[in-house]
Amino acid sequence: MEESTIALENKNKPVKNSVRAHDRRIAILFILPAVILFLVMAIYPFIYMIYTSFTNLNLSMSGTGQFIGLSNYFEIFHDPLALGSIWFSAMVLLIAVPIEMVIGIMFGLLIRGIKGERVFRLLFLISMMIPGIVFGISAQMIFNYLFGSANYFLSLFGISEIAWFGHAATAQFVILFLDVIQWTPFIFLITYAGLLSVPQDLIDAAKVDGASRWQLFANVEFPTLKSFIYIALIIRLIDALKIFGKIYMTTWGGPGMATSSWSFYIYKVGVSYGWDIGYASALALILLIASAVLVNLLIKVLNLGETLELRKEG
C-alpha cells in the first residue's frame, strides 16, 4: 500500500497531480465492491468467530453465550476426538499429498512428447473437475462389501473380501485413495504447464550432448520445474486441510473417528449434532491460523510483484 503511493507521488509532476488524484478515486471506486464483499462476508464473520470462541455459545441451549475465557482452547488438548481429527488431516497431508506429487509429476514426464499426448492429458484431467461429493457416491459402490468391484478385483487374486468401511485402516485407505484420485491431476496440470515452459533448444542441446533421460530431467527440466512444483505443493497442502465432502459421503468420519478430518470434526461439533458454537469456533480458528501460515508461504513463493506486474514499471 505505502510503497505504491510513494511511487505514485515521486513520479508525478505537480501539473499532473489532479489527474492522478482523479485516477486514484476511480481505482478505489472500482475495487470497492470486492473489498466490501470480503469485509462483510469474511472478515466480519471471523471477528465474530474470535469472540464466540471465548464463549460457551450453544445454539441448542438457551441462556448460553457467556464469556468463558480460554476454556474452549484448553478443551482441545483434552479432547481425543479433536486430536484424532487433526491427526487424520495430518495423514492426508503427509501420505496422500506426497503420492499425488510423485504420480502427478511422473505422468507429465511419461506423456511428454509421445503420440496421443493431448488425449492422455485431457483424460487425466477429468477427475479433478468432478465434485468431491460425486466421488463419494462412486466409492460407496466400488468399495461396497457385498457387490463392490474393489472386492471383485481382490477375489481374482484369491484375496477374500474386505469390509472397507468397517476397519480404521481400510477406511482411511479409501479416503486417502479418493484424495489421490481427485487431486493428482491438479499437480499434473501445474507441473505439466511447467514442463511445457522448458525451452526446447535446451532440451535439444542436452540430447545432442548425449544426456540420458535422467540427466535431462535432473539438469534441464527440474530447474525450471522447481518453482512450479513448489507452488503446486503449497496450494495442495492448503486445500488438503479442507477435505470434507468425500468423508461426509462415505465414512461419516468412521469407523469410530478414524476418518474424521479437522474440517469434518468442526462440522460435527458446530452443526451436525452439537451446535456447540463456542468450541467449534475455537477449533475453526486454529484451522484458520494453520491455513493462514501456509497461505503466507504461498504468497511469498508466488512473488506477486512480478507475476502480476503489480509494481509500477520504470
Partner 1 sequence: MNKRMVSRILKIVRYAVIILILCVFLFPVYWITITAFKPMSEWNTWPPHFWPFHPTLANFAVKGILPFLRNSLVVSSAVAFISAAISLMAAYAISRYKIGGTGLAGWFISMRMLPPITIAIPLYVIYVKIHLLNTWLGLILVYLIPTVAFGIWVMISFLNEIPKELDEAAYVDGATRLQTFRHVIFPLSLSGVAAVVVLSFVQTWSAFLLATVLTSDSAAQTLPVYLGRFVTGYNIEWGPLAAAGLITMLPPIAIGLIFQRYLIRGLTFGAVKG
Neighbours of 112 (CB within 10 A): 15
Candidates 79-87, 93-101, 164-172, 299-307: pick the segment binding partner 1 (CB under 8 A): 299-307
When asked if residue 137 is in the footprint of partner 1 (CB under 8 A), the reply is yes
Question: How many amino acids of this chain bind partner 1 (CB under 8 A)?
Answer: 110
Residues whose CB is less than 8 angstroms from the CB of residue 215 and which lie 6 or more positions away in sequence, other chains included: 206
Tell the smallest beta-carbon distance from residue 7 to partner 1 (Å).
8
Determine which residue in the list 12, 64, 71, 140 makes contact with partner 1, applying CB under 8 A: 140
55 φ/ψ angles, rounded to the nearest 5 degrees: -120, 170
Tell the smallest beta-carbon distance from residue 284 to partner 1 (Å).
4
When asked if residue 204 is in the footprint of partner 1 (CB under 8 A), the reply is no
Give whichever of 49 and 90 is closer to partner 1, judged by the CB atom: 49
Q: Among residue numbers 48 through 77, which ones bind partner 1 (CB under 8 A)?
A: 48-49, 52, 57, 59
When asked if residue 21 is in the footprint of partner 1 (CB under 8 A), the reply is no
Site string for partner 1, 162-191 (x = CB under 8 A): ----------------x--x--xxx--xx-
Candidates 72-80, 167-175, 204-212, 263-271: pick the segment binding partner 1 (CB under 8 A): 263-271
Determine which residue in the list 100, 101, 105, 124 makes contact with partner 1, applying CB under 8 A: 124
Candidates 133-141, 163-171, 204-212, 218-226: pick the segment binding partner 1 (CB under 8 A): 133-141
**DSSP collapsed to 3 states, the chain:** CHHHHHHHHHHCCHHHHHHHHHHHHHHHHHHHHHHHHHHHHHHHHHHHHHHHCCECCECCCCCCCCECCCHHHHHHHCCHHHHHHHHHHHHHHHHHHHHHHHHHHHHHHHHCCCCCHHHHHHHHHHHHHCCHHHHHHHHHHHCCCCCCHHHHHHHHCCCCCCCCCCCHHHHHHHHHHHHHHHHHHHHHHHHHHHHHCCCHHHHHHHHHCCCCHHHHHHHHHHHHHHHHHHHHHHHHHHHHCCCCHHHHHCCCCCCCCCCCCHHHHHHHHHHHCCCEHHHHHHHHHHHHHHHHHHHHHHHHHHCHHHHCCCCCCC
When asked if residue 108 is in the footprint of partner 1 (CB under 8 A), the reply is no
Determine which residue in the list 72, 136, 251, 260 makes contact with partner 1, applying CB under 8 A: 136
Candidates 93-101, 164-172, 200-208, 260-268: pick the segment binding partner 1 (CB under 8 A): 260-268
Determine which residue in the list 11, 16, 22, 226 makes contact with partner 1, applying CB under 8 A: 22
Q: Are 53 and 281 in contact (CB under 8 A)?
A: yes
Q: Are 227 and 194 in contact (CB under 8 A)?
A: yes
Candidates 67-75, 79-87, 90-98, 118-126: pick the segment binding partner 1 (CB under 8 A): 118-126
Determine which residue in the list 171, 174, 175, 238 makes contact with partner 1, applying CB under 8 A: 238
Tell the smallest beta-carbon distance from residue 163 to partner 1 (Å).
15
Candidates 9-17, 91-99, 203-211, 240-248: pick the segment binding partner 1 (CB under 8 A): 240-248
Give whichever of 88 and 228 is closer to partner 1, judged by the CB atom: 228
> Distance from CA of residue 35 to its chain's centroid?
23
